Structure 1
C-alpha cells in the first residue's frame, strides 16, 4: 500500500503576541481515509480565538479538563518556584513549580497508586526547556515525568469551594507542585516512553531501573554550554510544562495541556527568576513568532494520532542568501515523526544543512542519532529509521521538538513541508504523512545582473554589463562562482563571470 499524504487546511500564526491577540484562527484537522488503516482528507476543524485555552484545544470543555495554570510561582523568585541542582559531567539540571487547574465540569482522577496497590489514574507532568538565539528556536532539555499524587483544592484559576479530596481535582480547583516535589520525589519519576500521550495510559509504578549516575539524572537536564551567558549572548530561555491524564484525553480536552514561561539565568546558567507571566495552554513553540517577526507557526491535528505544531522562518542574511529555519513539535501524537521534507526550487543553491534534536535522558529508548539530510534538487529531506525497523530510532516522540535548517540563495516563496509518521507495525514507505505550507527557496537567476533586480532574462544587456564592469570589485555582475555558503562571486568581475552569463543565456527558470 503506498504512502497516503494527508492534506491539511489551516492558517498560520505570524509575529503576534498570542496571549493578547483576538485574531480568529483555524486549526487544521487530518484524518485517515479509505480502508480502516488509511486516512481521509483533512477538514477544517474549528475557528477559535487566539489567547483562549481553546487555541491549544479544550478550553473549559465538557468533562475533566486539566491545564497548567501556572509555571513557577508569583513572584517568580518565591521559595519553591524553581530549583537549581548541582552541575555534573557538563550538564545542569532544573525543576520548576507547576500548578494545575481543572477548567472542565467533571472531577479529574488523581489517585496516587503505590507499588503495593498500583493505580495509574493520575496525571503525569512533563517539563522541557527551549532557547531562542539568533533567529533559531530549539529545544535544549527535558525531564522524566512526575507522577501526580494527592490533588489539593486551591483556587488559582477560579473559586474552589470543594473540600480537600486527594483522589480528585474538582472543577474550579487547582493543585500546586513545588519545584522540589517535581524534581526530587523517589518512586514517582518515570520515563516518557511508558506513556501513551493520546490516551493517557501508562503502567504504574514507573520503570525507574535506569541508574542514578549523578544529580542531573531524571531531572530537567540541559547541556551547560546551552545555558552559558558567555556562549549565548542575547538568548532567551523558556520552560514548558505539560500534563497528560487519561480522563482528560478521553474527554478530548488534551490539546490545551501545555503552558510556558520565560526564565532568567545568571552567568553560569542558574535560574534566578521568571521574566514574564505564564502563557497558559500554549506550548513553548508559540513563543517563536512572538520573539521573531519572521517566524510563523501552524497547528495540525491528525485524527487518531494527536497534535503537531510546525514552525518556520526565513531570515535575510544581507548577502543574497537566506537562512531557513523549521521546527516540528509533537505535542501528544502517539505516532512519532521520522521524516521531514521541505520543497525547494532546483535552481537554488542549498548549503549549511543542519539538524537539531534534544538529548533524551538515560532510560528512554532513543539512540540519539542525527537525522540524515538528502538534497534531491526538488526537496531537502531529513530522516531516521522507522520504529518498525529500529525500536530505538531517534524519532520525534511526544513532548519534543526537532529543528531543521539550511542556507539558500533562493528568496522565500511558498512551498510545502511534509512530515511522515512512524508506525511500529508498518514498514516504510507504508506510512502516513501530512503537508504544511511554509516558506522555502524559490528560483534563482544569478546571471540576470541588469537592470538592478533583473528582468527575468539573461541576454545581451547582461553580457554588456559584465564587460563594462570588468575588473570591478563591487558589482552585481560578480556572479561566479556560486560559493559553498550559496553567496555569489569572488570579489572581482573577471572571465569567469563572462562565461557564466553566456552559459545561462535565455529566460530565467
Structure 2
C-alpha cells in the first residue's frame, strides 16, 4: 500500500583520533530529518541549486522513483566557466548509467567522483567513460549498460555520483539527459546547463575591458612584460605571444 514516500536524512559529523588508535565519528548539530544528504552541499554553499525529479509515484504506478540533481556554476575568468553536478538516486531501482549535458565541443578537466563499493560487494568500481558525443552535441559520462554487465558501476538507489568540467559556454536554463540502467529509458530534465549555442563576440586581447583592442591594451602588455598582468594566451606570463595577439586583434570591437 502507498502509505508514504521513501526518505533519507543526514547529520554533520567530525572525525577525531588517528590511524594507529582508530577514529571516532562525533555527531554535531541536529539531524536534518527526511532531507537527503545532497542538501548538505546547499547548506554549506547557498549558491548551489538542487532540483527534485520523479520518474513515477506509488499512487499511480505502484512504485516511487525519485532522484535529485544539484549544480553549481562558477565564472573562473578568461571566458571560462566551471560546472559541478551531483546526481543522487534516492529510490530508483532502475538506476542510471549515463549523464550528459550540452556543450559546443570545447571543454576541459572533465572529472567524476563516486563512493566505491567494498566489503565483498559484487558491483564494479570502474569509472564511467567520459567524452564528447558529436551526434548529440553533449559531454557524456556513462557506465556499461545492463546488457553489457549487470554488475556495472551504475548509479543505484541511495548512491550519488558527481561530474565536473570547464567550458567557455556560459550557464543557461536548458536540459540534461540521463539513461536508466536496467531498461535504457532516456530521461530529460530541466536544469542549469552550458549554453552550447553561445558565440563569444568579445575580443580576447581587450585587456582593459573597453570592448576595443587599441593602444591601451598594447600599453598593458608592455607594462606587465614578464609577469601575468598582460597574459592573453593563458600561459601565465606576458610575452611575445601576447604582444602578437594584441597586434592580430588590433581594432577588434567587441559586444
* TM-score over 0.5 (shorter chain): yes
Residues 1:450 and 2:206 are matched in the alignment: yes
Q: Quote the Cα distance in structure 2 between the aligned partners of 1:293 and 1:327.
A: 15
**Contact 1:421-1:433 within 8 A present in 2 as well:** yes
Cross-structure match for 2:5: 254
- Evaluate the alpha carbon distance shift between residue 414 and residue 505 of structure 1 in structure 2; reply closer, same or farther with a 3 A threshold: farther
Cross-structure match for 1:395: 154
Q: Quote the Cα distance in structure 2 between the aligned partners of 1:432 and 1:471.
A: 54
Residues 1:494 and 2:240 are matched in the alignment: yes
Match among 183, 196, 218 for residue 467 of structure 1: 218
Q: Quote the Cα distance in structure 2 between the aligned partners of 1:323 and 1:265.
A: 30
Match among 259, 267, 286 for residue 39 of structure 2: 286
- Evaluate the alpha carbon distance shift between residue 400 and residue 341 of structure 1 in structure 2; reply closer, same or farther with a 3 A threshold: same
TM normalised by structure 2 equals 0.78
**Contact 1:325-1:406 within 8 A present in 2 as well:** yes
Match among 53, 68, 80 for residue 300 of structure 1: 53
CA drift of 1:354 comes to: 0.8
Cross-structure match for 2:118: 361
Q: Quote the Cα distance in structure 1 between the aligned partners of 2:146 and 2:253.
A: 46
SS of the counterpart of 2:126?
coil
Residues 1:350 and 2:128 are matched in the alignment: no
**Contact 2:213-2:253 within 8 A present in 1 as well:** no
CA drift of 1:419 comes to: 1.5
Match among 236, 260, 263 for residue 13 of structure 2: 263
- Evaluate the alpha carbon distance shift between residue 279 and residue 417 of structure 1 in structure 2; reply closer, same or farther with a 3 A threshold: same
Name structure 2 gaps, 5 residues minimum.
Answer: none
Match among 14, 26, 30 for residue 273 of structure 1: 26
- Evaluate the alpha carbon distance shift between residue 364 and residue 508 of structure 1 in structure 2; reply closer, same or farther with a 3 A threshold: farther
Q: Quote the Cα distance in structure 1 between the aligned partners of 2:248 and 2:205.
A: 12
Q: Quote the Cα distance in structure 1 between the aligned partners of 2:154 and 2:230.
A: 45
- For the aligned residues, what is the CA RMSD? 3.3
**Contact 1:324-1:405 within 8 A present in 2 as well:** yes
Cross-structure match for 1:437: 191
CA drift of 1:279 comes to: 0.9
- Evaluate the alpha carbon distance shift between residue 289 and residue 503 of structure 1 in structure 2; reply closer, same or farther with a 3 A threshold: same
**Contact 1:413-1:440 within 8 A present in 2 as well:** yes
CA drift of 1:380 comes to: 1.6
- Evaluate the alpha carbon distance shift between residue 508 and residue 360 of structure 1 in structure 2; reply closer, same or farther with a 3 A threshold: farther
TM normalised by structure 1 equals 0.42
Cross-structure match for 2:82: 323
SS of the counterpart of 1:498?
helix
What does the per-residue CA deviation read over 1:1-46, in whole Å, with 9 as the maximum and x for residues that have no partner? xxxxxxxxxxxxxxxxxxxxxxxxxxxxxxxxxxxxxxxxxxxxxx
SS of the counterpart of 2:213?
helix
- Evaluate the alpha carbon distance shift between residue 469 and residue 318 of structure 1 in structure 2; reply closer, same or farther with a 3 A threshold: closer
- Evaluate the alpha carbon distance shift between residue 406 and residue 300 of structure 1 in structure 2; reply closer, same or farther with a 3 A threshold: same
Q: Quote the Cα distance in structure 1 between the aligned partners of 2:241 and 2:92.
A: 56
SS of the counterpart of 2:151?
coil
- Evaluate the alpha carbon distance shift between residue 271 and residue 475 of structure 1 in structure 2; reply closer, same or farther with a 3 A threshold: closer
